[in-house]
């Protein structure tokens, strides 16, 4: 009789603990959903996404990482202070949940795009869209990337920074061959922006004159086929 009594009491205790734990998880989920809702309502998403894009490749030690993103703790503390300054009330360690939420959101979107049955068409991109695609690509390769394309950009569209070196990128969204003029522009822009190297990336191919000029000026050329391979390997995106 006592055995059954204690068994029933044990079952009741376990059920009680489970109910409390489930209630705790629900409460935590509700708290997190409320936090993200407040971020959205206050219009802070753009600042957070910009922070992730700009500072998510800083492999300093020590650092906090999630997916392929790396942040120095000082940077995270700065973001937390900025969000609090903007009026967002944050509890202990909640800044890390916010970063995880938005990184996962962006990674899920990337994965979803990458598994579409139809490949994307490079030729349908505008010049600015192509530059943004290259920015995403080089950021995935652990570069911090600046967009420079604007009137008076001196022939430089992007600058990729990593390990104290600056790399000038000339983006050419062409369907036809790229001439040696693009190589000359990249070579001049390299000096103008004080970069250590220069490369031209195109959706087309290169004339023999461009190849000869690139060899002489030590400018790297990336053509369509190599670009497609890089996009698949780095971004898991199928581009034709």
Q: Would 1 be classed as within a structural domain? A: no
> pLDDT digit string (tens) for 142-192?
899 998 755 555 668 999 999 889 999 999 999 889 999 999 999 999 999
pLDDT in the model for residue 1 = 55
Global pTM value: 0.55
pLDDT in the model for residue 52 = 87
DSSP for 45-102?
A: HHHHHHHHHHHTB---SSEEEETTEEEEHHHHHHHHHHHHHTT----TTHHHHHHHHH
Last residue of a domain, one of 61, 93, 114: 114
> 150 and 176: one domain?
yes
- Token pair in block for residue 49: 């996404």
How many domains, in total, are found in the chain?
2
- Token pair in block for residue 48: 């957070």
Last residue of a domain, one of 70, 88, 114: 114
> 107 and 128: one domain?
no
Contact 159, 146 (CB under 8 A): yes
Q: Would 49 be classed as within a structural domain? A: yes
> 143 and 40: one domain?
no
Domain ranges, residue 150: 124-235
pLDDT in the model for residue 220 = 95
219 vs 200: CA distance, rounded Å: 7
pLDDT in the model for residue 226 = 94
Which domain CATH number covers 169? 3.40.1350.10
pLDDT (tens digit, 0 to 9) for every residue of the chain, 240 residues total?
A: 545 555 555 555 555 555 444 444 444 678 889 999 999 999 999 889 888 877 887 767 788 998 878 899 999 999 999 999 999 999 888 999 999 999 998 888 777 766 665 788 999 999 989 999 999 999 999 899 998 755 555 668 999 999 889 999 999 999 889 999 999 999 999 999 999 999 999 999 999 999 999 999 999 999 999 999 999 888 888 899
pLDDT in the model for residue 56 = 80
pLDDT in the model for residue 13 = 52
> 135 and 216: one domain?
yes
Last residue of a domain, one of 65, 84, 114: 114
> 72 and 161: one domain?
no
pLDDT in the model for residue 55 = 82
pLDDT in the model for residue 216 = 95
pLDDT in the model for residue 210 = 96
> 20 and 84: one domain?
yes
């Amino acid at each position: 009789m006592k055995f059954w009594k204690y068994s029933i009491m044990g079952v009741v205790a376990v059920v009680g603990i489970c109910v409390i734990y489930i209630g705790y998880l629900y409460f935590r989920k509700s708290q997190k959903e409320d936090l993200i809702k407040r971020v959205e309502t206050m219009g802070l998403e753009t600042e957070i996404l910009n922070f992730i894009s700009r500072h998510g490749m800083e492999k300093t030690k020590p650092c906090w990482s999630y997916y392929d993103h790396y942040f120095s703790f000082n940077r995270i503390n700065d973001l937390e202070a900025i969000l609090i300054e903007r009026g967002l009330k944050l509890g202990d360690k909640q800044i890390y949940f916010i970063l995880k939420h938005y990184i996962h959101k962006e990674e899920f979107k990337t994965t979803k795009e990458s598994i579409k049955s139809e490949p994307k068409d490079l030729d349908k991109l505008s010049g600015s869209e192509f530059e943004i695609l290259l920015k995403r690509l080089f950021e995935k390769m652990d570069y911090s990337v600046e967009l420079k394309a604007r009137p008076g950009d001196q022939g430089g569209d992007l600058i990729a920074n990593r390990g104290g070196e600056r790399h000038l990128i000339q983006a050419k969204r062409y369907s036809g061959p790229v001439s040696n003029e693009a190589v000359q522009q990249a070579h001049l822009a390299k000096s103008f922006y004080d970069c250590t190297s220069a490369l031209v990336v195109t959706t087309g191919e290169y004339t023999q004159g461009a190849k000869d000029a690139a060899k002489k000026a030590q400018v790297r050329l990336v053509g369509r086929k190599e670009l497609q391979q890089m996009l698949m390997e780095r971004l898991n995106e199928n581009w034709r």
